[in-house]
Structure 1
Amino acid sequence: MAFYVYILASKKNGTLYIGMTDDLEKRVWEHKEKIFKGFTAKYGVDKVVWYEAHDKRGSAFRRERAMKKWNRQWKIDLIEKENPFWEDLWAVWNS
C-alpha cells in the first residue's frame, strides 16, 4: 500500500493546501466534489498540482507535517520543479 502527500491549488500561484492520503484519486475526487465543507471547499482549492508516494504512513505523515511549516515560496518551487505550468494532474489521470 502506498501513502501520498499532495498539494492542491486553486489556480496557478493561488491558494495552496497540503494533505496526505492512502487513496489519492478518491481524496482528490472528494476535494473536487466538495464532499467535506472545509478549507478546500471554501476557497475552491481542488487542482492537484504535486504529489509524492511513500511506502510507510509514518514517513508520509512526517513529510506532510514538515511541508505545512514551509514558507510559500518553497512550496511553489517544489510544484514548479515537476509541474511548471501548474497543470491539474487529475485531468491528466482522467484523459
Structure 2
Amino acid sequence: MNTDYATQEPPRSAIDVLPGPTVLEFGAPWCGYCQAAQPLLAEALANQPSLRHLKVEDGSGRPLGRSFRVKLWPTLIFLRDGQEVERLVRPANVEAIRRALHSILA
C-alpha cells in the first residue's frame, strides 16, 4: 500500500493500459475523510502484494481526477486491465473495500 499521495499524476492514457488489478485512490493529505480511510485501506490491502495501488493527490483542475468524474474524496477506483470495475466513495468499512477488491482479483 502506498502511504503518500503522488503529486505528479500519470496521464489517463497510462492508466487505461495498466495490466492486472489496480486500486486508484484519489484524495488529499489534508482531507479528514481521506485520513479516516487510511486504516481501512491498510487492512484491506494487507497481504495483496500483486495488487497495484496508485494514490493520487487530486484537486481542482487536475485532469486525471476529472477524467474519472471524481467529486468527493477519497474516491477509490478498482480497475482490471485499465477498465473500471467498481468504485467506492468515502468507504466507511473494510468489508466494502474487500468486496470491491474481490471484483478485480477474482
Question: Fold-level match, TM-score > 0.5?
Answer: no
Higher helix fraction (1 or 2): 1
| TM-score w.r.t. length of structure 1 | 0.28
TM-score (norm 2): 0.26
